[in-house]
Amino acid sequence: TQLLEQSPQFLSIQEGENLTVYCNSSSVFSSLQWYRQEPGEGPVLLVTVVTGGEVKKLKRLTFQFGDARKDSSLHITAAQPGDTGLYLCAGAGAGGTSYGKLTFGQGTILTVHP
């Protein structure tokens, strides 16, 4: 069974601060996806990283996939109240039997105060 440990579970910061969310596993994943979820809605994909060492940027959000494809991080620069939400990492297994199944981390609830 593949497990993903996400930390921290809660993050409460002031507008303008920087933050990093971590996602770690002892298993290798073919790809790592990051989702954001708003209250009352389903998760929505932010980014997919597939290559070890890959870095992707989405405006003020920077996503990194570890060299060994076992861990990932999400860094937000100059957080804004609109960044508030639940952030989830999810790893995809490899091979023809994965059928796109994902293993999710526990999630990080981010609150950005004005």
d(CA 61, CA 43): 17
The verdict on 64 binding another protein (CB under 8 A) reads no
- Both ends of the chain: CA-CA distance in Å? 41
CB 21 within 8 A of CB 83: no
When binding is defined by CB under 8 A, the residue of 1, 59, 82, 114 that contacts another protein is: 1
Exposed (0-12), middle (13-18) or buried (19+): which is 48, by Cβ within 10 Å? middle
The verdict on 40 binding another protein (CB under 8 A) reads yes
When binding is defined by CB under 8 A, the residue of 19, 21, 76, 102 that contacts another protein is: 102
By C-alpha distance, which of 52, 31, 38 is closest to 83? 38
The verdict on 100 binding another protein (CB under 8 A) reads yes
The verdict on 101 binding another protein (CB under 8 A) reads yes
The verdict on 44 binding another protein (CB under 8 A) reads yes
d(CA 2, CA 112): 31
When binding is defined by CB under 8 A, the residue of 11, 25, 43, 66 that contacts another protein is: 43
Binding site for another protein (CB under 8 A): 1, 4, 6, 9, 30-31, 33, 40-45, 48, 50, 88, 90, 92-95, 98-102, 104-107
